[in-house]
Structure 1
Amino acid sequence: MFELYQSENNQKFYFNLKAKNGQIIMSSQGYADKSGAKNGIESCKKNSTDDSKFERKTAKNGKFHFNLKAGNGQIIGSSQMYASEAGMENGIESVKKNAGNAEVKDLTE
Structure 2
Amino acid sequence: MAGKFELYKDDSGMHRFRLKASNGSVVVVGDAHESKESLLKNIESLRKLAPYAEVLETSGSPA
TM norm structure 1? 0.49
Paired residues, number? 59
Distance 2:25 2:17 in 1: 13
For residue 100 of structure 1, give the secondary structure of its aligned residue in structure 2: helix
From 39, 55, 62, the equivalent of 1:88 is 39
Cα displacement (A) at 1:85: 0.5
Q: State the identity %.
A: 32
Instruction: Write out the 4+ residue segments of structure 1 that deviate beyond 6 Å after TM superposition.
Output: none
From 22, 42, 62, the equivalent of 2:13 is 62
From 67, 77, 80, the equivalent of 2:28 is 77
**CA-to-partner distance for each residue in 1:17-61, whole Å, 9 max, x for gaps?**
xxxxxxxxxxxxxxxxxxxxxxxxxxxxxxxxx6x6101111122
Higher strand share: 1
Q: Which has the higher contact order (CA 8 A, sep 6+)?
A: 1
Structure 1 stretches lacking a partner, 5+ long: 1-49
Structure 2 stretches lacking a partner, 5+ long: none
TM norm structure 2? 0.81
